[in-house]
Structure 1
Amino acid sequence: MDTGCDRPGLKPISEALEHLLSSCNPNSRDEQVNLFDGLNRVLAESVKSRVNVPPNDNSAMDGYAFFVDENLPTNTTMMIQGQALAGKPFTESVKAGYCVRITTGGILPKGTNTVLMQENVTKSDNRITTNQAVRRGNSVRLAGEDIRQDQTVVKKGTRLSPAHLALIASVGIDRVIVQSKPKVAVIATGDELVQPGDALEPGQIYESNRFALHGLLHKMAVDVLHYEIVRDHPESLSKVFLQASQEADMIISCGGVSVGDADYVKQVLDDIGHIDFWKVAIKPGKPFAFGHISKTLFCGLPGNPVSSFVTFEQLVTPLLKKMMGELPSSKLTLQAKCAETIYKRPGRADFQRGICFVDSQGQLWVKPNGKQGSGIMSSIANANCYILLEIEQGKMEPGEAVSISLFDA
């Protein structure tokens, strides 16, 4: 079968990714930031706990704390000696035959090793009677049970999520060492492009790629450098690309990488820098150019909005993660059944935009989200997943199994 990848310059996506990642070294610059500013930043140093979590033996329930040798029988009566509240410990030693009223999180007083929840006792005046047998250590959280002092809690190379921030804060740390933000220049090219808000003349369209890329880059915590729309003139392109190469770690351009009469990006990149490869066996997004200008990486995305979006997610995102020192990870894929016919010709890996859903029996299904043209941005905006179709895959019939990748929440 002709995969379509034998044509000169059409590189399979796996080879393109391998080439991209081998062309980039992790950023060696780091900085210290307040934990409130750590969301989506990549750790440059592992975080170790300063304390045990929990710091003391404490109660997992609202109830009563007392001492048990091994087991305590039902109908045992004890006097209440005092109370231990979260943040207000009971400082005396609990006498034999006595108990202490304790709340969830309260430090276990000296002379106790067990907690019985309040629903399982009968209280009368200043005493309790147990309504069930109790084993030693019941409902007690031991010091360091969750995290030990000096234990690594988050590894270097982790992109910090809200849960990571809470975990780091819980071990007493308010500042972290993270990779410095790479500077990424975003440049849109094309004589037909107009800034949103301006009036359209015949033959013009509103430029939208920069807005999508800005949002995608913002989630990755990079510094985005925006430039004015550049017209389809080699001199104008060369001037802006050279300027961006002095100001950014990576240049992302949109448009001008195809084979039209006014597609000059590849020519200019070849003149002022170096092209590593051009054209990838991916749909949408075949005309993707990668190279560098001096030490600045260059990714030339197609101008069509869907092609630009898909090639950024599938090719540029892994490259940026490598640049930022993020730990390698594979994206979760799920198996679904085709809810309707999926049309595809062998030759390119296809990332069709789909809508997945679960039926009443719990089966996951997926269907293409309408028209799949590279200029139809609603195919992404109104979808919730990519349908992942390999290079050699052809048409798929209803009921066949297919891989999908969910969009980011």
Structure 2
Amino acid sequence: MNQQPSHARSLSDITNQIADYNPRSLSVAQASDIIRQFVTHQHTTDLVPILEALGRHLAEDVISPINVPAYDNSAMDGFAFAYPQQLNVPTDQFQIIGTVLAGHMFSGDVKPGQCVRIMTGAMIPAGCDTVVPQELTEKVDEHAVRIPLTTLRRGANRRHAGEDLCAGKVALPQGKILRPADIGLLASLGISQVQVRRRLRVACFSTGDELRRLDEQLDIGCIYDSNNYTLQAMLTRLGCEVINMGIIKDDPVTLEASFREACASADLIITSGGVSVGVADYTKQVMASLGDVAFWSIDMRPGKPMACGKIVAGDKSAFLFGLPGNPVAVMVTFYFFVQPAIRQLMGELQTQPVMTPAISKETIKKRAGRTEFQRGIATLNQNGELEVVITGSQGSGMLRSMAEANCIIVLPHEQQDVHAGEKVMITLFEGLV
């Protein structure tokens, strides 16, 4: 991994600044803030053709080399003319002296009382300042048209050079995820390639003797490893380069070797399982022996136990997140803690999930003193308002309910029971999970 900037801070530097810091009872807001301060973005970039930049993060501002549009042009098909200085002109009849098409220019002189037939996007002829839509005119003959001057304003339907974007101005800011519209904008500026952040390399593995691969026999007391597949899918959605390390057994020697191997090739390591207080949970002690790692008990449901830090192996280092083992807890902690960290590592400016209000259609039980993330199904009612219901039982091992949900209902720390008809805040999955 690249060397981190000199301003990188240790976890203890950050937590020492928190007056009421308690690793055994950390609020969601505190955990999020610590992660935000601890994670620093990587600086390596790739120069890629614009079509290969889709979904990537811009590494630097894109400066427009030209005006957009490059010249004054017509916003629609119609007639270009010079709007009279006074409306008490003898007639509203204009002589048609030519036609100008998009991609061409009119070379003649347009005098008062004359007009030019013009197509959408065509350059405004010299001497003209207004365009009347064709459907508003009245044909006199093949060479003349009546224009309703009183229904137009001077300069109507004229797009000015640089109106959309001026040369020398920022067209797209660094950190932006490039979407199809951005690719089109780059092409409109004549830009064929851009600097983007290198894809983040993320190693992930699950821990536990009870876990089995999908091609293995499912013995009594064992389960298939779903977390690894879930994490790989979520990481792929974020545009990461995934290093799948599979299942690691509950053995400290094997765990340490796996961490060192992951650290040698990844920017970030994500594990699931082994961060609680079980007697066979060796992951915590191995993490702690390799670097700057903090273990938290977060006042939230699901996903209470979590580890965050940075480990070192030789001259390499990698950020680390140790997530719980329950499938829903893995997804919730990833969505609200790991995803923002990944976006920050890739240089994105807006990293937190977007929240939006919705009306609860039912009573939701909640006790104050912890943040709850409940699986929900959001729909639009007849008034166009978002409504939401929970998916039923909210057990942290019930992965099926996560598949049914299309959003997470976020009930804050101080919230108590929600009654039907009250508003709650939700975050839509938008394809991430």
TM-score under structure 2 normalisation?
0.87
1:49 and 1:172 in contact (8 A); partners too: no
1:120 and 1:132 in contact (8 A); partners too: no
2:123 corresponds, among 76, 88, 107, to 107
**1:171 aligned residue:** 189
Structure 1 residues 4-403: aligned runs within 5 Å: 9-70=24-85, 76-123=92-139, 124-133=141-150, 134-294=152-312, 295-328=317-350, 330-403=352-425
CA pair 273-332 structure 1, distance change in 2 beyond 3 A: closer
CA pair 93-193 structure 1, distance change in 2 beyond 3 A: farther
Q: CA deviation at 1:221?
A: 2.1
Q: Which amino acid aligns with 1:375?
A: G
Q: Secondary structure of 2:298's partner? A: coil
2:163 and 2:144 map into 1 onto residues whose CA distance is 31
1:41 and 1:220 in contact (8 A); partners too: no
CA pair 267-330 structure 1, distance change in 2 beyond 3 A: closer
Q: Secondary structure of 2:247's partner? A: coil
Q: Which amino acid aligns with 1:318?
A: P
2:133 and 2:157 map into 1 onto residues whose CA distance is 8
Bigger mean CA offset, 293-302 vs 273-282: 273-282
2:238 and 2:371 map into 1 onto residues whose CA distance is 25
Q: CA deviation at 1:81?
A: 1.8
Q: Secondary structure of 2:262's partner? A: helix
Identity of aligned residues (%): 40
- C-alpha offsets along residues 287-331 of structure 1, whole Å, 9 cap, x if unaligned? 111122112111011121111111011111121222222114554
1:205 and 1:329 map into 2 onto residues whose CA distance is 34
1:15 and 1:92 map into 2 onto residues whose CA distance is 69
Q: Secondary structure of 1:300's partner? A: strand
- C-alpha offsets along residues 83-120 of structure 1, whole Å, 9 cap, x if unaligned? 11112333333344332111111111223221111111
2:86 and 2:239 map into 1 onto residues whose CA distance is 55
2:295 and 2:305 in contact (8 A); partners too: no
Q: CA deviation at 1:384?
A: 1.9
Q: Which amino acid aligns with 2:277?
A: V
Q: Secondary structure of 2:379's partner? A: strand
CA pair 223-71 structure 1, distance change in 2 beyond 3 A: farther
2:159 and 2:204 map into 1 onto residues whose CA distance is 52
- C-alpha offsets along residues 265-304 of structure 1, whole Å, 9 cap, x if unaligned? 1122123334223322221111111122112111011121
CA pair 49-8 structure 1, distance change in 2 beyond 3 A: closer
Unaligned runs of 5+ in 2: 1-19
Q: Secondary structure of 2:187's partner? A: helix
Q: Which amino acid aligns with 2:27?
A: P
Unaligned runs of 5+ in 1: none
**Aligned alpha-carbon RMSD (Å):** 2.2
1:363 and 1:235 map into 2 onto residues whose CA distance is 55
CA pair 94-384 structure 1, distance change in 2 beyond 3 A: same
Q: Which amino acid aligns with 1:343?
A: K
2:90 and 2:380 map into 1 onto residues whose CA distance is 49
2:78 and 2:134 in contact (8 A); partners too: yes
Bigger mean CA offset, 96-105 vs 42-51: 96-105
